[in-house]
């Protein structure tokens, strides 16, 4: 009984979150439907379950966070993954963003540098039947063996765009969505590969992310 009540409560909280994201300007219907489906409460720490559907980043351990739902919706809308596309996420964190990408029908690959976070995310994704290929390591190197990717989404703030990620985009229209800037102030960038050596770059809104850490730092 309690779980039916929880399910109903969490579903209605998700609907309210989606309404809020619409009000904030998210208009990609497929992204909104995915956010309405994915149980974010399953990806937050038990102490924060009651706050899972607030539009807030929340701690997940190792000084890291599950991104704010608006940020997830914004980045996913820019990436606009299509069913069957190969998408690489850098920064698995809790696994929530990866689940949203799966819900949209993408083939998802995700890299995380913190082993403990990755193990926990893998357990949660598996328990919810989200099929994500994961790797422990430095995502600034990308995942060459699985490339090219139709899309790459970086969920930590980079000081500059890592060259290997540009190189691992599909030559015809591969998209990279990445926050770039100095610590505490990042500009969202979308970079589209238009040929072997050509890219179109857009600079969008300002965000604040935890840092993307190179392995040699």
**Residues in the site for ligand SAM, rule: CB under 6 A?**
64-67, 90-91, 93-94, 96-97, 111-114, 117, 138-140, 155-156, 209-210, 212-213
Asked whether the beta carbons of 78 and 70 are under 8 A apart, the reply is no
**Least distance from ligand SAM to the Cβ atom of residue 66, Å:** 4
Q: Is 67 a catalytic residue?
A: yes
Cα angle, residue 115 at apex, residues 112 and 117 outer, rounded to 5°: 70
Q: Cβ closer to ligand SAM: 29 or 216? A: 216
Q: How far apart are CA 203 and CA 76, in angstroms?
A: 16
The verdict on whether omega for the bond into residue 22 sits within 30 degrees of 0, i.e. cis, is no
Asked whether the beta carbons of 14 and 35 are under 8 A apart, the reply is yes
β-pairing, 151-154 vs 175-180, is parallel
**Least distance from ligand SAM to the Cβ atom of residue 129, Å:** 17
Provide the strand spans (E) within 35-185: 58-61, 64-66, 86-90, 107-112, 132-136, 151-154, 175-180
Q: Cβ closer to ligand SAM: 143 or 174? A: 143
Cα angle, residue 187 at apex, residues 182 and 192 outer, rounded to 5°: 120
Catalytic, out of 67, 94, 110, 147: 67
**Least distance from ligand SAM to the Cβ atom of residue 141, Å:** 8
**Least distance from ligand SAM to the Cβ atom of residue 174, Å:** 19
Q: How many residues are given for the chain?
A: 217
**Least distance from ligand SAM to the Cβ atom of residue 34, Å:** 13
Contact residues for 139 (Cβ-Cβ < 8 A; gap 6+): 90, 91, 111, 112, 113, 154, 212
Buried-state track 183-192, b at ≥16 Cβ within 10 A, e below 16: eeebebbbbb
- The residues annotated with a catalytic role in the active site are 67
């Amino acid at each position: 009984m309690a779980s039916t009540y929880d399910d109903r409560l969490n579903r209605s909280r998700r609907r309210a979150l989606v309404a809020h994201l619409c009000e904030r300007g998210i208009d990609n219907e497929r992204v909104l439907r995915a956010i309405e489906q994915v149980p974010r409460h399953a990806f937050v720490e038990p102490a924060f379950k009651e706050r899972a559907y607030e539009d807030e980043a929340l701690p997940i351990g190792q000084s890291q966070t599950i991104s704010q739902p608006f940020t997830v919706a914004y980045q996913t809308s820019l990436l606009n993954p299509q069913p069957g596309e190969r998408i690489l996420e850098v920064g698995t964190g809790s696994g929530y963003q990866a689940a949203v990408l799966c819900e949209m029908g993408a083939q998802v690959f995700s890299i995380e540098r913190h082993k403990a976070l990755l193990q926990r995310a893998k357990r949660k994704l598996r328990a919810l039947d989200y099929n994500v290929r994961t790797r422990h390591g430095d995502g600034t190197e990308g995942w060459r063996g699985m490339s090219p990717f139709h899309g790459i989404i970086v969920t930590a703030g980079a000081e500059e765009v890592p060259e290997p990620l540009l190189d691992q985009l599909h030559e015809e229209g591969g998209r990279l969505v990445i926050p770039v800037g100095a610590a505490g102030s990042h500009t969202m960038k979308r970079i589209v590969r238009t040929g072997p050596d050509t890219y179109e770059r857009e600079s969008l809104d300002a965000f604040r992310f935890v840092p993307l850490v190179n392995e040699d730092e």
